[in-house]
Homo-oligomer: A and B are copies of this chain.
């Protein structure tokens, strides 16, 4: 590449652009034989490879060139209808295909939310800790993050009330089911309390629901959206129940917001892949998804239990950790002042990676926290990796 004549003039927002620590760790890990608790990776041994291969073959045989052309920015109509009829109905919401926008993973939904709503300086209320890639997506639009502490049963309502009053946030971003990074699930009461508070403020609820299908304990709870009377954007994904490589998420919102988001999607990537949309739809109609999800939940529950077992038996006294009823993550708080980043430096050398807590905080970080993914490593790797983690934690706690 030619050299830059003078200092290149990037936009100011580039200064706040932070690479995802998790994606950087995973990139480093990908090149070697590393045990990873870092990413939010589904268990690859459970991907329905044959069903997807069959669906791909069938789509290309039956639809031919129609599956290889540019498609509508809104997304493949039958798949939008499936989302409305199945994904939304399961959440207790009546919707039609016209209320749905399909996105390149639910990550794109977050970028489109940023594009459509966030002005520089706008207050955006976030859980603390929060989903790393939501922080990253919104940060490009230069908001001011307002963190609210996440408790074991959801968002702290007193803090929420105070923050809403004081900051009048434009958006409130929540992951009420098996939150990333903590695994916390909001209780029914907490959902009601939050909805009640939100109703009193002119703020947009952005509810991100990627893990709902992965509940292996307890009862399904309605989205906060169902209790609220709020301008809202609800988003979900097929990445966790089928495959992230289909890059297919969805957005449900009101007509005005949907219209703006569709145009923002046109500007961002014109349209999603018609091929993968049709493959996904073919899978959904011919493959027993419910049975597949039930198998996922059984296995993830077992993997969670194993990881909890290793934490309980190997980690030092004073370690605190969540016990998620679903999803993919356990959140660990180390005793004393042990720095998770120092810990990572030590474990990387021994071939084990995880996500230190720092990057998940929209405000002041708690440095003795970390996120462990329990769905990716197999049993042998998990045992070995957790032993190494425990040894290095003990080395640091002295």
Number of interface residues of A (CB under 8 A): 102
Min C-beta distance of A348 to chain B, whole Å = 18
Which residues of chain B are near A26, meaning CB under 8 Å?
Answer: 72
Which residues of chain B are near A66, meaning CB under 8 Å?
Answer: 44
Min C-beta distance of A171 to chain B, whole Å = 9
Min C-beta distance of A220 to chain B, whole Å = 20
Q: Are A69 and B56 in contact (CB under 8 A)?
A: no
Min C-beta distance of A228 to chain B, whole Å = 7
User: A19 near B: Cβ within 8 Å?
Assistant: yes
Min C-beta distance of A303 to chain B, whole Å = 16
Q: Are A11 and B268 in contact (CB under 8 A)?
A: no
Q: How many copies does the complex hold?
A: 2
Q: Are B118 and A11 in contact (CB under 8 A)?
A: yes
Which residues of chain B are near A53, meaning CB under 8 Å?
Answer: 56-57, 60-61
Q: Are A231 and B107 in contact (CB under 8 A)?
A: no
User: A99 near B: Cβ within 8 Å?
Assistant: yes
Which residues of chain B are near A2, meaning CB under 8 Å?
Answer: 225, 228-232, 254
Q: Are A231 and B268 in contact (CB under 8 A)?
A: no
Which residues of chain B are near A72, meaning CB under 8 Å?
Answer: 23, 26-27, 30
Docked Cα-Cα span, A208 to B99, in Å, equals 34
Which residues of chain B are near A270, meaning CB under 8 Å?
Answer: 23, 105, 107, 133
Per the 8 Å Cβ criterion, residues 19-62 of A in contact with B are 19-20, 23, 26-27, 30, 39-42, 44-45, 47, 49, 52-53, 56-57, 60-61
User: A395 near B: Cβ within 8 Å?
Assistant: no
Given the interface pairs A108-B269, A204-B8, A229-B2, the reply to whether A65 lies near B41 with Cβ below 8 Å is no
Q: Are A23 and B266 in contact (CB under 8 A)?
A: yes
Docked Cα-Cα span, A119 to B118, in Å, equals 15
Residue of B nearest to A272 (CB): B247
Q: Are B115 and A140 in contact (CB under 8 A)?
A: yes
Which residues of chain B are near A116, meaning CB under 8 Å?
Answer: 10-11, 14
Which residues of chain B are near A133, meaning CB under 8 Å?
Answer: 266-267, 270
Q: Are B247 and A269 in contact (CB under 8 A)?
A: yes
Docked Cα-Cα span, A243 to B3, in Å, equals 34
Docked Cα-Cα span, A122 to B257, in Å, equals 27
Query: Which of A148-156, A273-281, A381-389 lines the interface with chain B?
Result: A273-281
Given the interface pairs A231-B5, A260-B10, the reply to whether A70 lies near B39 with Cβ below 8 Å is yes
18 more CB-based (< 8 A) A-B contacts, given A8-B204, A69-B244: A1-B99, A9-B202, A10-B117, A17-B267, A19-B262, A19-B263, A23-B73, A41-B70, A68-B244, A70-B239, A71-B245, A107-B268, A107-B269, A111-B268, A136-B263, A140-B267, A245-B276, A273-B273
Which A positions have Cβ atoms within 8 angstroms of B?
Answer: 1-6, 8-14, 17-20, 23, 26-27, 30, 39-42, 44-45, 47, 49, 52-53, 56-57, 60-61, 64-73, 95, 99, 103-105, 107-108, 111, 115-119, 122, 133, 136-137, 139-141, 170, 199, 202, 204, 225, 228-232, 239, 243-247, 252-257, 260, 262-264, 266-276
The 6 lowest CB-CB distance pairs between A and B, nearest first, are A53-B60, A68-B243, A44-B65, A245-B275, A47-B65, A1-B254
